[in-house]
Amino acid sequence: MAAYVDYNPTMATASMTMASQSPSNSLRHISSTMSSTIDRHIDSREERIDKLKSSLIQFARTNDRRMVMRKLKEATFLSYIPLEPQIIASNLSMSKLEQEVYKQKLVLNGTLLKPTSTDTTIRNCGTNNGPLVILKPYVKELCEDTELNERTIYEGIIMRLERSSKMVEIYSILSSFMENAELILKEVPFDYTIKSSSYVMNKNKATNYGDLPDLTLYTTGSEIHMSLDNTFNFGLYRKSDTVVNRPWIILRCKVHERLNVSTNETFRSLSVKTPELY
């Protein structure tokens, strides 16, 4: 997992002293200051992870759900976890990926696109014929005034809409400090209904847009940009519970990706939302 660095006034102060020092000494001073600041933040983050690990074991063992939720809420680093750029596997079958995307719901530029439906009313015409029916010609239109290959851009978007690899990625990150002798982490089915004081997730409710892949495509000048949010639900399960198919605590994980399609510059992050304390 990539380390992150918070802003620290020490960095700003170091840069302000450049004028009063020789160039070489100033650069050495700034480099030393930044290195020590980064080290302190990494150490602090590791300490917080170790503290969370201990708390999860302690309160899961005593079946204290409220305290586990409190400790997860106090772990503020869960709200922003930087991710490495996505690696697109070369052995993926485009036809299989297209079939997967074709069968799923997708929010494209704020419009909900649904899989093929028997509803043929004018009101639903177009948006109920599968996301690809709208996505493919839209990408073609975006590429018209650029030198980009529309097929390459389209396939790159389809690959990023693939969810299984992201699921594995999130599990790898979270399980490293959430799974222990008392708890296991597992994916929660998308249609699992969770009733709590903070949110209700149900695939049949219109308010569930936040759990659907949310894709935004737009142009700035001659460049194409993409923003994609994918939400995954994981559950913490107590190993000692007799009802193993019922998650003890739900974790709502959102992967946010911003991509300059024209230059392939990308930024990705993960945020983990825990239920509100009751």
Predicted TM-score of the model (pTM): 0.73
What share of the chain has pLDDT > 70, as a percent? 70
Residue 56 near residue 49 (C-beta atoms within 8 A): no
Asked if the model's pLDDT at residue 2 lies above 60, the reply is: no
**Which pairs with CB-CB distance under 8 Å and at least 24 residues apart come from 208-216?**
209/107, 209/112, 212/105, 212/106, 212/107, 212/112, 213/104, 213/105, 213/106, 213/107, 213/161, 213/163, 214/107, 215/106, 215/107, 215/108, 215/109, 215/157, 215/161, 216/108, 216/109, 216/110
Average pLDDT rounded to a whole number, residues 187-197: 59
Asked if the model's pLDDT at residue 43 lies above 80, the reply is: no
pLDDT digit string, tens, across residues 238-261: 998 866 678 899 999 999 999 998
- For the chain, the average pLDDT equals 77
Asked if the model's pLDDT at residue 204 lies above 60, the reply is: no
